Chains A and B, each alone.
Chain A
């Protein structure tokens, strides 16, 4: 099995080989399984659905059935290189808390989320006057688990408020990656269906351990945090 969903593939590219990875809300373990087979990672998962946990265990993965909002406390500080939260943060009660927890237990957090400010959503509200329902946010308002929608800009603002550094961001449509948005954040916020963020703590960045994240050969638009990073590297 070498094929995974396209956005998971891009997410997987952010992870260095042999790393320790915690996939929060890992489902049946597609990403972990891929990373284990292709990047030899030491992977663990947390998942709320018992059926999904069983499916992951059957594949030889290690998964704890638990609720990401309460149970991340069981992991000790800095026990992972990466904590991954894919398409889930918008469904949590306390996104800031979960972000900080991820960066307590891991050096990097990788978060992907649907961009509520996507053009199609804006048009649906503007012209139909109704809550948007489409491929990236497929639920009616009364049944959606997504209680904390945000836009890409909103999320960046939250990271900034929490004093977290976005090391990389990647913008995605349903099946493509958007590139070339240097400095055109507003455009990305309009056209991207999903945002994918590699985040770390300031302390961690300053300690110079960000080498890998920086070397990773992915073309992405850099956030305002990046120029200082580049400077640091030249030094």
Chain B
């Protein structure tokens, strides 16, 4: 089923690919206690599911990613966000694997999200949309996996927020996963990260065009707030090394300073560019819902302050292997947290591996071409 959906400031209708409706009979209970039923999940698949249905790989997208992981994104008209990684004869080879990527619930690319129409009111959910957790997103993904008749995924792979989803798969559905690959991720969202998220949320909510979350009804769009949220967040996705390497102190105007508050530096220009691109494709309320879900993620407190007990059930799946990948200059999800995660798994005798790949792309390194990352993922998926 395909639907048309409106996007951001462009406010034009665009066809989004595959969409199915779930929980038609049994509602899905959310962490908040609310229940949802007959809700949509938008997804893309690549390659073919084999007869045994054991060659499926679920890719979990990051905070503002979407299901267009390996084909052209209909809104940005750009390649999928991991197009170099997934495809025929690529590191995640679709000649061999059936790759699924779905838009998380709470998102804005066709899955159940705040800009979709609430059938009860025939209006966008807006401020009525329920707050979610990473676990809710994974429970929804599980319904999609069930629809394909897949009893065990060959692998669940995700970076950042997607890595949290991969971990949540290990906690919630330990028998349904064979390989887990959380990249640039953590067992929790740190206080520093929550702080950055809050700045982003406040930027949106303080934009007068946010209208208490009901901007769509009032034909407005808090683009300045959303753009500012993206600018702030984007700093955290890079690193000191990557900013230095990309821009240094280069000036936009080679003649010198403007002696004004206008954009003088290339790095400023870049952040504005990122902010402006973002408002064309992302829904401000989705940003609030998803950042909140990420903030709530903490497997350690979920299991009474004992992180290792989060993985007791996973350790009963003798087949399961976990490969934790960190990046050396990622300060948002530092390698130290990956190490703590590794330890919590190792004490449960889980077959866990850890590698910190040398990078100069900051947190976003998992989205960038990296020979070592590509060959490592390829080997892990083929040899296990």
A: which residues have CB within 8 A of B?
44, 50-51, 53-54, 57-66, 71, 74-76, 79
Contact = CB atoms under 8 A, between A and B. Distances in A.
A54 B375 CA distance: 8
A60 B342 contact: no
A59 B384 CA distance: 9
B380 A57 contact: yes
Nearest to B373: A54
B145 to A, nearest CB: 25
A44 to B, nearest CB: 7
A54 B383 CA distance: 13
Nearest first, the 3 closest Cβ-Cβ pairs linking A and B are A60-B383, A58-B379, A74-B343
Interface residues on B, range: 20 to 34
A57 B355 contact: yes
13 contacts: A44-B351, A50-B355, A54-B375, A57-B323, A57-B353, A58-B376, A59-B379, A60-B383, A62-B353, A63-B355, A66-B354, A71-B339, A74-B347
Nearest to A57: B376
Given A57-B323, A57-B379, A64 B349 contact: no
A179 B380 CA distance: 41
B201 interface: no
A54 B349 contact: no
A60 B321 CA distance: 10
A78 to B, nearest CB: 11
Contact of A64 (B342, B357, B384): B342
B1 interface: no
A57 B378 CA distance: 10
A74 B323 contact: no
A56 B377 CA distance: 12
A50 B325 CA distance: 11
B2 to A, nearest CB: 39
Contact of A59 (B323, B328, B356, B383): B383
A60 B384 contact: yes
A124 B201 CA distance: 70
Contact of A62 (B343, B347, B351, B356): B351
Given A74-B342, A79-B349, A58 B354 contact: no
B69 to A, nearest CB: 22
Nearest to B321: A62
Contact of B372 (A54, A59, A63, A65): A54
Given A74-B347, A75-B346, A58 B378 contact: yes
Nearest to B379: A58
A71 B358 CA distance: 20
Contacts of A44: 351
B185 to A, nearest CB: 16
B352 interface: yes
Contact of A58 (B339, B351, B375): B375
A95 to B, nearest CB: 23
A128 B352 CA distance: 49
A61 B376 CA distance: 11
A54 B355 contact: yes
A75 B358 CA distance: 25
B347 A64 contact: no
B357 A54 contact: yes
Contact of A60 (B354, B356, B380): B380
B215 to A, nearest CB: 46
Contacts of A61: 353
B61 to A, nearest CB: 23
Most chain B CB atoms below 10 A, which of A44, A51, A64, A75: A64
B346 A74 contact: yes
Nearest to A80: B349
B322 to A, nearest CB: 9
Given A60-B380, A64-B352, A75-B347, 9 more contacts: A50-B357, A54-B355, A57-B380, A58-B375, A59-B379, A60-B383, A64-B354, A75-B346, A76-B347
Contacts of A75: 346-347
B326 to A, nearest CB: 9
A61 B378 CA distance: 13
Contacts of B379: 57-60
Given A64-B342, A74-B347, A58 B353 contact: no
A121 to B, nearest CB: 36
A197 B342 CA distance: 30
B349 A76 contact: yes
Contacts of A58: 375-376, 378-380, 383
Contacts of A65: 354-356
A7 B357 CA distance: 30
A58 B378 CA distance: 7
Nearest to A63: B353
A74 B352 CA distance: 11
Contacts of B352: 62, 64
A51 B372 contact: yes
B347 A54 contact: no
Interface in B317-351: 321, 323, 328, 339, 342-343, 346-347, 349, 351
A133 B331 CA distance: 42
Contacts of B358: 50
B20 to A, nearest CB: 35
A64 B346 contact: yes
